[in-house]
Structure 1
Amino acid sequence: MKALLNSLNEDEKALVRETGSGELADLEEDGLVDLHTRIRRARDKYAKLYRRTASTRVAEHGGRGKARPKNLRNAQKAEVFEDALARVSWYLARAARRSASALKAERVAAAQPDRRHPRPAAPAAPRKRSRTTARLRPTGADPARSRREAATRAKGARRQARRDAR
């Protein structure tokens, strides 16, 4: 990996250096979007170069996989930029969630009137659920139980469909 990073030109090295955690933590959402776009373009460039070069060698080598050793540098560069893109995407998603929650809080605050003495909320009446609804919904957060119950319901539905078809 280090040898490949040393084979990048200065612009590409600078672009990869911008994806360090210290640099990404300082950027705001707009800066992250810009960096994300630049890295995605670099990744796409080398991925296209790899595919195009490999496809021209298919006739000579008999397949793109067999032609890969001759085209390894483009594939590795695409992977370097793919890793950098993943890091930037993670930070961008985090910044987007943060700004979305701040915007939501602003909207909620703007929508609520300024009340000095809020009225006490009326207690909500308990909702009645039918026995079948209560039975069909999983009670816990156990994914295995949810799958098992779903399989049981599906099996019953298949049996009923077979009976109806007769």
Structure 2
Amino acid sequence: MNQGLLNSLSDAERLLVAEAERDALQRLDEDELLDLHQRVRRARTKYVKNYRRGASAAVASTGGRGLSYARNQRDRDKAELFESVLAKVSREVATVARRASMELRSERIAAARSVKTAGSTAGGAVARVEAQGARGSGGEGGGRARATKTTGGLKKDASSRAAGARRQAKRDAR
């Protein structure tokens, strides 16, 4: 990294960059990594926004985009620095998430196997149903569980059903 750029960082920004070093990232758990990821993304967005605003404002005074390019070097460099830090943190988040996913998967498989072996000795049908539940099967559809609706969707659906019921009751009353 450019030493001049590091010297131009504020203390908080310097600490944020230091938190993204390899050794520091190794000590963080998944939630802490996600928090760091969010903070780095905010810093990157700030400097990208500052750079774009400054560049667009300088175009009118300098007479073109090419001439105004050199004026906004510091914000552009900071945005690039935080972009590379964000990439590091994102890779680490992906690694930790993949590791957690594999652990959960192995636990789920072990639980299903233990239920399955217990079911073969006593009451096979009950054990198969429990094993299917432990596997996380979404029903007859196979793969995915059904998405839950938000409150707004539930209210709208209930309102539509009620309106339909009122129309039907009106017809039945004739």
| TM-score tier (shorter) | 0.5 to 0.7
* TM-score normalised per structure 1: 0.66
How far off is 1:30 after superposition?
A: 0.6
Could you tell me which residue of structure 2 aligns to residue 143 of structure 1? none
CA–CA distance in 1 between the matches of 2:65 and 2:29?
Answer: 41
Identity %: 49
* TM-score normalised per structure 2: 0.64
Could you tell me which residue of structure 1 aligns to residue 62 of structure 2? 61
Query: Aligned to 1:46, what secondary structure does the other structure show?
Result: helix
* Letter of the 1:72 counterpart: Q
Query: Aligned to 1:12, what secondary structure does the other structure show?
Result: helix
CA–CA distance in 1 between the matches of 2:74 and 2:65?
Answer: 14
Q: Which of 111, 117, 120 lines up with 1:115 in the alignment?
A: 117
1:50 aligns with 2:61: no
* Letter of the 2:117 counterpart: R
Q: Within 5 A, what are the aligned runs for 1:7-86?
A: 7-86=8-87
CA–CA distance in 2 between the matches of 1:104 and 1:65?
Answer: 53
Query: Aligned to 1:27, what secondary structure does the other structure show?
Result: coil
Q: Can you list the C-alpha shifts for 1:64-91, whole angstroms capped at 9, x where unaligned?
A: 3431211100000001111111110111
CA–CA distance in 1 between the matches of 2:63 and 2:50?
Answer: 19
Question: Which is bigger in relative contact order (C-alpha 8 A, separation at least 6)?
Answer: 1
How far off is 1:57 after superposition?
A: 1.2
Q: Within 5 A, what are the aligned runs for 1:115-134?
A: 115=117
Could you tell me which residue of structure 2 aligns to residue 163 of structure 1? none
- Count of aligned residue pairs for this structure pair: 118
70-79 or 58-67: which moved more?
Answer: 58-67
After TM superposition, where is structure 1 displaced by more than 6 Å over at least 4 residues in a row?
none
Higher helix share: 2
Are the structure 2 counterparts of residues 110 and 64 from structure 1 closer, same or farther at C-alpha, using a change threshold of 3 Å?
farther
- 5+ long unaligned stretches in structure 2: 121-174
Are the structure 2 counterparts of residues 102 and 63 from structure 1 closer, same or farther at C-alpha, using a change threshold of 3 Å?
farther
- 5+ long unaligned stretches in structure 1: 119-166
